Amino acid sequence: MKFEKPAEMNPIDRMKVVGQPIRRIDGELKVSGQAKYAYEWHDPAGRYAYGYPVGSAIAKGHILAIDSEAAQRAPGVLKVVTTLDVGDREKGKFNTAKLFGGSEIQHYHQAVAVVVAETFEQARDAAALLKIEYAEEAGSFSLKEAKSSAVKPKDAGGSEPDTSVGDFTGAFRSAEVTLDEEYSTPDQSHSMMEPHASLAAWDGDELTLWTSSQMIDWWRGDLATTLGIDKEKITLMSPFIGGGFGGKLFLRADAVLAAFAAKAIGRPVKVALPRPLMANNTTHRPATIQRIRIGASKDGKISAIGHESWSGDLAGGQPEAAVMQTRLLYAGKNRMTAMRLATLNLAEGNAMRAPGEAPGLMALEIAMDEMAEKLGMDPVAFRKLNDTQMDPENPERPFTQRNLNGCLDLGAERFGWKNRGKPRSRTEGNMLIGMGVAAAFRNNLLLPSAARVRLDQSGTLTVETDMTDIGTGSYTIIAQTAAEMLGLPINRVAVHLGDSRFPVSAGSGGQFGANCSTSGVYAACVKLREAIAAKLGFNSADAVFEDGQVRLGNRAVPLADAVGTEGLTGEDGVEWGDLSETHQQSTFGAHFVEVGVDRFTGETRIRRMLAVCAAGRILNPVTARSQVIGAMTMGVGGALTEELAVDERRGFFVNHDLAGYEVPVHADIPHQEVIFMEEADPYSSPMKAKGVGELGLCGVSAAIANAIYNATGVRLRHYPLTLDKMLHQLPDVA
């Protein structure tokens, strides 16, 4: 199915199943411990061995030699497979650094060996016996120091690194009110609960891999490249994933190590990355330095807006696209954005939940608050005044839907914004109380996605697609889509995901998974409906699928009877036309936060949070709300605590565990509320949905920063917003 014109009325619009608050169909498996994650797959007849990965002790250089003799002799050890053993390997399409193979070291904790033993403990103990000789080279580990050498990147994730409209320099210079400030965000870790883990088993020259992957087909292709075998020789299974946040978008070392180890010993091997390697071996959100300049007339109309961002990555990497939202979020005739990339020898910087917009809005939405203050305007009113219904860089290109102002208005009303008060004007005991607001923005991305649906003689509909569920509710919304299309109750739909033998889906990431994967299921269901109608001699366009029957006029046939003893199958996928080129597809929202700051210690506590989201049709308000409140929680961590501390001498992240890398816990999040605006965007897909999981993060951290300012009168521009950065600026108390 090619989606190339706005969707008209279709079966999804009935909203009997889609859009309803149905609880997760996989929930019982998860709460009862029956959902099998990658490391938990177990065949009682299998003789599993365990691999323990060894990471490089240097950040840049080469390996001269690896002495594994002592490790090989250790109790229970079956094999030591080193990076020198496997030799140089072709790198996968989606990786910046090599995951395993050869003597070159590109970053600290790059995989250099895997020790395989009968038990995990034996493998771990033996790994400590490896002796590795390195030729270390000097590296670059500080973005601040490397900023001056940063260059315009060749690859900015499919977008132009620089854009310019009008005369930004002249307009900024002549503006009546101006802002020119620098902001920074730190390196951050995905810190998902489930580690990167894989189980590899060979049968001759064919490999089956149970792993934790957000993108089945991407992994399968890159693993085939690394192993030097045909992609069709690999079966990849990932039905349940314990969190990803972008950290499992691309093939990771655990899968590669498990595959090499299993081949070496002729037995299945399990490999899980220890927590320190999750920070230093896998990807992370790279740090940014951002400069924002805004010029406006005294009435608050923006005349010039410029956003520059610097970030770092390994050679051949990409920048953190922190300027992307600034190209689309606010009006202003004279505009400029630019991205610069420095070469750093830290672990690969790559996608983490809402890449680009999340760190970009951490800066932009503070700048908007600062500008509102300079103008003497309410921050909500200032944002609303500079709304636009057209792409600001291409005024001939309209947004399909844009209700940012509606989100701001409803949020302000529900949150009690009128009671906000001036900075440092509200107190409760020792606490200074403040409110903050920030706009939320995330583009609607589109990837092809396919599925197969099969209706059997019992009237049960089975859906098969390699789509993944990273805790987002994919099982449920896919079941809802299929049930709606065939007129079945949801308990008559079985959903099978995360298997490379199924049709290739969009996968999970970028906020595109829900809309794209359900559109692929929609397309497959259209094929099945056509097959059923043809078998009955019905006109498929006029046939009504409802209440377990297919009807045309006065004739009604139960679906089970219609498909017969053999059953019927439909398989198809969705491909996208040029609607996203002729019209801008984006999601919008508004975040409101109230904080309390201790006047003596500077400690910040979140008191309450509200997110208002305009993101097309909400396929399931229960699972969507879970996504948003999870994202809001992540935004609290990004604002107040999360920072990968870089050892700039040795080139590694020091706080590479959950004791040192602090994420929010339940006590940090007292009250969250989520409101979804009523929308259905016919330009987005046949589902008329978009995505919401990453929108819930975008802007949250800035809303917290703005609330801290309202509480204390202290403006913080460098994350995380820790008490040491404000304590000396708080009012005297003695």
By annotation, the residues acting in catalysis are 694
Alpha carbon of 100 to those of 85, 255, 453, 469: distances in Å? 10, 10, 38, 27
* Strand residue runs (E) in 344-482: 390-391, 394-398, 426-428, 431-443, 449-455, 461-464
CB 572 within 8 A of CB 526: yes
First to last CA, the chain: 71
Give SS3 for 640: helix
Long-range contacts of 83-88 (CB under 8 A, 24+ apart): 83/111, 83/112, 83/113, 86/260
The tokens for 337 are 């954005």
Question: Hey, what amino acid is at 583?
Answer: H
- DSSP 8-state assignment for residue 138: -
Token pair 């922190």 in the structure block, residue: 322
Counts of helices then strands in the chain (DSSP H, E): 18, 32
- DSSP 8-state assignment for residue 58: S
CA distance 720 to 202: 46
The tokens for 654 are 């020091």
How far is it between the farthest Cα atoms of the chain?
Answer: 88
CA distance 3 to 5: 6
CA distance 596 to 411: 20
CA distance 544 to 530: 11
Alpha carbon of 375 to those of 291, 298, 435, 711: distances in Å? 20, 6, 19, 20
Nearest residue to 363 via CA among 605, 715, 669: 715
Give SS3 for 380: helix
The tokens for 350 are 């790559």
Give SS3 for 692: coil
Q: Indicate if the alpha-carbon torsion angle 216, 217, 223, 226 is positive or negative.
A: negative
Residue 228: burial class (beta carbons within 10 Å; 0-12, 13-18, 19+): exposed
Alpha carbon of 256 to those of 222, 277, 385: distances in Å? 10, 15, 52
Residue 315: burial class (beta carbons within 10 Å; 0-12, 13-18, 19+): exposed
